[in-house]
Amino acid sequence: IIIIILSFGYRLIAFYHLLVHAIFKSILFMGAGVVIHLIKNTQDIRLLGNINEVIPFVIIRMMISNMALIGVPFISGFYRKDLIMEIIYAERIVNIIIYVLIILSLLLTVSYSIRLIYYLFFNRRVKYVIYLSILEKLITLVCCFSGVLLIMVIIIIRKIVRAYYYMYFFRSI
């Protein structure tokens, strides 16, 4: 999606998409690291289940990050993807292949995110016994605070992007 937006000449929107995607993906990876650490370095997603009962704050943060990556309405991922789709639709010179590629990439993002949500929350077949030590509670706390810090960075970046567009608009008049 970033390359397509760059090909239309919207550098700032592509950069904003890159930053927001990278920040939410990093929140997701930090949570995945905590989950992998807690289940004794097992990386098989099928062995996860009911993990939200043990580390609810990390899982909630992962859920919000997933929703932002999917593009659930009223989260920044929705507005960024909607803006990109509006730009591509407004260009009117776009080939049908580009539309298909964008829709396919959005569907793949939704599919792997929903798969992760299913295995984290609704996989009741696995009962993994996890005991949290003080170190693991500290890791969980650090991940939660870093997620909040990253969201604050997103808010600041969004204000900078908005100010840049206002300056660009008034300069072009």
Q: What sign does the dihedral 166-167-172-173 (CA atoms) show? A: positive
Total structural domains within the chain: 1
Please report the pLDDT score of residue 135 as a whole number. Answer: 60
Specify the pLDDT at position 66.
87
Residue type, 57: F
Residue 167 pLDDT: 61
User: What pLDDT is stored for residue 155 in this prediction?
Assistant: 77
| Residue 59: domain span | 1-170
Which residue is associated with the tokens 């539309």?
99
**Average pLDDT for runs of 10 along the chain of length 173:** 82 83 85 78 72 76 85 80 79 76 86 84 64 62 72 76 64 51
pTM above 0.75, yes or no: no
pLDDT of residue 137: 67
> 125: Cβ–Cβ under 8 A, 6 or more apart, which residues?
49
